[in-house]
Structure 1
Amino acid sequence: MTILVGYAQGEGGTGGVQLGAMLAEAAGTDLEVATVVPRPWTTPSMAKVDAEFAAWTDQIVTAARNEVAEYMEIYPPDLRWTFTRLDHRTASAALIDRAQESSADVLVISSTSEGQLGQIVIGSTGDALLHKSPIPVAIAPRGYRSPKDGQLTRITVAVAGSGPEARAVLTRAREAWESTRVPLRVVTFAVRGGAMYPPLVGLSTEGTVLDQWKEQAATDHQTLIDDGTIPAGIDCVVAAGRGWREAVDSIPWLDGEVLVVGSTREGVLAQVFIGSRSAKLIRHSSVPVVVLPR
Structure 2
Amino acid sequence: MRYVVGITMDNRGRDAVSLALALAQTTLSSHRVELDLVHVLRGVPPEQAGSKPEREYQKLCLEEAEQWMAKTHDLVPKTIRSTTSVHFADSMAAGLIDKATSCPCDLIIVGAASHGPLRRFTIGSVANALLHSSPVPVALAPSGYLPPSRLTRLSCALGMRPGAEVALNVATQSSVLHDVPLRLISLIALDSRTEDVERTDAARDHAKKLLLRASQSVEDATEVMVDVALGRSIESAIEKLTWDDGEIVLIGSSRLAKNRSIFMGTTANKMLRSLPVPMVVVPRYHAADFISDNGISI
TM-score interval w.r.t. the shorter chain? Answer: 0.7 to 0.9
Aligned partners of 1:225, 1:19: CA distance in 2, in Å? Answer: 27
Aligned partners of 1:58, 1:275: CA distance in 2, in Å? Answer: 36
Change in Cα spacing, 1:89 to 1:253, as seen in structure 2 (3 Å) is same
Counterpart position of 1:242: 232
Given residue 142 of structure 1, which amino acid in structure 2 is its aligned partner? S
Does residue 289 in structure 1 map to residue 279 in structure 2? Answer: yes
> Unpaired runs of 5+ in structure 2?
285-298
Q: Is the 8 A contact 1:2 1:24 kept in 2?
A: no
Given residue 85 of structure 2, which amino acid in structure 1 is its aligned partner? T
Instruction: Name the larger-Rg structure.
Output: 1
Question: Deviation of residue 97 (structure 1)?
Answer: 1.2
Tell me the secondary structure at the aligned position of residue 177 of structure 2: helix
Counterpart position of 1:124: 125
Tell me the secondary structure at the aligned position of residue 16 of structure 2: helix
Aligned partners of 2:64, 2:128: CA distance in 1, in Å? Answer: 23
- Aligned pairs, number: 273
Question: Deviation of residue 127 (structure 1)?
Answer: 1.0
Residue of 38, 41, 46 corresponding to 1:37 = 41
Question: Deviation of residue 108 (structure 1)?
Answer: 0.4
Counterpart position of 1:269: 259
Q: Is the 8 A contact 2:211 2:225 kept in 1?
A: no
Does residue 187 in structure 1 map to residue 178 in structure 2? Answer: no
Using structure 2 for the length normalisation, give the TM-score.
0.85
Tell me the secondary structure at the aligned position of residue 259 of structure 1: strand
Question: For residues 71-110 of structure 1, what are the structure 2 equivalents within 5 Å?
Answer: 71-72=75-76, 75=77, 77-110=78-111
Does residue 55 in structure 1 map to residue 59 in structure 2? Answer: yes
Change in Cα spacing, 1:100 to 1:13, as seen in structure 2 (3 Å) is closer
Aligned partners of 2:243, 2:126: CA distance in 1, in Å? Answer: 27
Counterpart position of 1:10: 10
Question: Deviation of residue 99 (structure 1)?
Answer: 0.4
Question: Deviation of residue 91 (structure 1)?
Answer: 1.2
Q: Is the 8 A contact 1:214 1:238 kept in 2?
A: no
Counterpart position of 1:199: none
Does residue 65 in structure 1 map to residue 51 in structure 2? Answer: no
Using structure 1 for the length normalisation, give the TM-score.
0.86
Q: Is the 8 A contact 1:9 1:63 kept in 2?
A: no
Change in Cα spacing, 1:123 to 1:88, as seen in structure 2 (3 Å) is same
Aligned partners of 2:259, 2:102: CA distance in 1, in Å? Answer: 20
Counterpart position of 1:198: none
Counterpart position of 2:26: 26
Tell me the secondary structure at the aligned position of residue 171 of structure 2: helix
Given residue 97 of structure 2, which amino acid in structure 1 is its aligned partner? I
Q: Is the 8 A contact 1:2 1:102 kept in 2?
A: no
Does residue 220 in structure 1 map to residue 210 in structure 2? Answer: no
Question: Deviation of residue 279 (structure 1)?
Answer: 1.1
Question: Deviation of residue 230 (structure 1)?
Answer: 4.2
Question: Deviation of residue 59 (structure 1)?
Answer: 3.5
Aligned partners of 2:201, 2:151: CA distance in 1, in Å? Answer: 31
Q: Report percent identity of matched pairs.
A: 28
Aligned partners of 2:250, 2:121: CA distance in 1, in Å? Answer: 14
Counterpart position of 2:140: 139
Post-superposition Cα deviations, 1:207-242, rounded to whole Å, max 9, x if no partner, equal x31x4443222200222244x244475210112222
Q: Is the 8 A contact 1:167 1:229 kept in 2?
A: no
Does residue 169 in structure 1 map to residue 167 in structure 2? Answer: yes
Counterpart position of 1:111: 112
